[in-house]
Amino acid sequence: MQLPLLALAMASFGIGTTEFVIMGLLPEVAADLHVSIPAAGLLVTGYALGVVVGAPIMAIITNSLPRKATLIGLASMFVVGNFLCAIAPDYAFLMAARVVTAFCHGAFFGIGAVVAANLVPPNQRASAIALMFAGLTLANVLGVPLGTALGQAFGWRSTFWAVVVIGILAVSAIALWVPRDIPHAAGNILREFGVLRRPQVLLTMMLSVLASASLFTVLTYIAPLLRDVTGLAPHTVTYVLLLFGVGITIGNILGGRLADWRLMPSLMGIFIGLAVILVTLVFASPHAALTVATVFVWGILVFAVVAPIQVRVVDAAIGAPNLASTLNQGAFNLGNAAGAWIGGASITLGLGYADLPWVGAALAVVALGLCMVSQSLERRDGGLVAAREGAACEEC
């Protein structure tokens, strides 16, 4: 099953690159399109909101379609969206193109995660999902820093042209390697939205929002933080982003292993670590060596939450895993949008780039509190068994 998972990882690499690379190119995009850096930062928010809005819409549209055909269609939509980004004549067109690209994001990752889990034994589901998301982490190791360097050298549009090529290769890989006979029981999609009434599903999606908001409050403005506060040269920022990507790759693998071991205790420990490392970044940011080391550890911790949260929402949403997995991607990106907006608003209100990690740390602490609430409810209800029994009753 390595080739199908590799095909999914290739597509997630392209999607991850186009989502995150814009943060390394904010100064170039702002200068070329004659907007401020906070305004350019709204391109991150626009993309994330596109995922939030697109996730339920695409879940409804693709509910009855075969999984392989759906994945090919979503990846093709991604190619078209990046083509429009590359030819965008102005800021408004670029924003619209980013939203078009984002519509495929939530459904692809949501459906792809369920497909990946179906390709392996039950005790390896989190690791399989982590392997698919390895493309997303590799995007931060290679895609974002190389895309940033390419955009700085040849203009930001060249980065989107490169992503178009990656997307075409991913579509081809899915067509060749992903099997046709993937289990898929198309039910009443509107009835499946009833899964949102389950407290554990809602709590887990709120964790997704908070985890992403904590990340993007800082990450959206990491380039100006490293330049203006730490004093790094633009080309050095690329290497720091590369190191951050290495960190999240390690964190992605670590998160999958921890989720297969002890999910909730691991998740709470990760959020504690996130709060601590973000506070550390506040004091480390004036010092280059300390900042680089802190960013690396931050990368490990911040992506270790992804696989555990994704597995937890699928477990809690028994009976509607495709819908819940897709909506959870929307929740992650709602956090992306909220984080980018919170970061921009904080700067507008007078906070400096070096103060943003305080905000990210506070959001991580709130997420830790929700983890405790979720675990308390789970103990009271006898674990997620109650959720499964509730789903069976709903179907009856």
pLDDT digits (tens, 9 = 90+) for 121-172: 777 777 787 788 788 778 877 887 788 889 988 999 999 999 999 999 999 9
DSSP 343-382: HHHHHHTT--GGGHHHHHHHHHHHHHHHHHHHHHHHHHHT
Q: What is the DSSP letter of 140?
A: I
Residue 369: per-residue pLDDT: 93
Residue 393: per-residue pLDDT: 43
Tell me the mean pLDDT in the region 230-259: 84
Residue 64: per-residue pLDDT: 79
Residue 107: per-residue pLDDT: 83
Percent of the chain whose predicted confidence (pLDDT) is above 90: 29
Cβ-in-10-Å burial (0-12, 13-18, 19+) of 335 comes to: buried
Cβ-in-10-Å burial (0-12, 13-18, 19+) of 53 comes to: middle
**Do the domain assignments include residue 185?**
no
> Per-residue pLDDT for 102 more than 80?
yes
Tell me the mean pLDDT in the region 198-220: 89
> Per-residue pLDDT for 1 more than 60?
no
Number of domains in the chain: 1
Residue 388: per-residue pLDDT: 46
Cβ-in-10-Å burial (0-12, 13-18, 19+) of 188 comes to: exposed
pLDDT tier at 74, thresholds 50, 70, 90: very high
Q: What is the DSSP letter of 120?
A: S
**Do the domain assignments include residue 290?**
yes
Helices 2-24, 37-62: axis angle to 10 degrees equals 150
pLDDT tier at 4, thresholds 50, 70, 90: confident
Those residues with Cβ within 8 angstroms of residue 48's Cβ, 6 or more apart along the chain or in another chain: 102, 216, 333, 334, 335, 336, 337, 340
**Do the domain assignments include residue 184?**
no
> What is the chain's mean pLDDT, rounded?
84
pLDDT tier at 181, thresholds 50, 70, 90: confident
Which tokens in the block code for residue 261?
């071991």
Task: Name the residue type at position 92.
Answer: A
Tell me the mean pLDDT in the region 367-386: 78
**Do the domain assignments include residue 223?**
yes
Tell me the mean pLDDT in the region 199-204: 87
Residue 386: per-residue pLDDT: 45
> Per-residue pLDDT for 116 more than 80?
yes
Task: Catalogue the E-assigned strands of the chain.
Answer: none
Q: How many residues does the chain have?
A: 396
Cβ-in-10-Å burial (0-12, 13-18, 19+) of 71 comes to: buried
| Residue owning tokens 């099997």 | 179
Spatial CA neighbour of 109 closest among 55, 179, 41: 55
Tell me the mean pLDDT in the region 326-341: 82
> Per-residue pLDDT for 80 more than 70?
yes
| Alpha carbon distance 378, 383 (integer Å) | 4
Tell me the mean pLDDT in the region 351-362: 92
Tell me the mean pLDDT in the region 182-193: 66
pLDDT tier at 338, thresholds 50, 70, 90: confident
CATH code, 310: 1.20.1250.20
CB burial readout 135-154, b (16+ within 10 A) else e: bbbbbbbbbbbbbbbbbbee
> Per-residue pLDDT for 182 more than 80?
no
Percent of the chain whose predicted confidence (pLDDT) is above 70: 92
Tell me the mean pLDDT in the region 301-318: 83
Tell me the mean pLDDT in the region 171-179: 90
- The boundaries of the domain holding residue 358 are 2-179+190-395
pLDDT tier at 272, thresholds 50, 70, 90: very high
**Do the domain assignments include residue 148?**
yes
**Number of C-beta neighbours around residue 239 at 10 A:** 14
Which tokens in the block code for residue 341?
């907006």
**Do the domain assignments include residue 280?**
yes
pLDDT tier at 387, thresholds 50, 70, 90: very low
Residue 384: per-residue pLDDT: 55
Tell me the mean pLDDT in the region 10-33: 86
**Do the domain assignments include residue 79?**
yes
**More confident position, 298 or 310:** 298
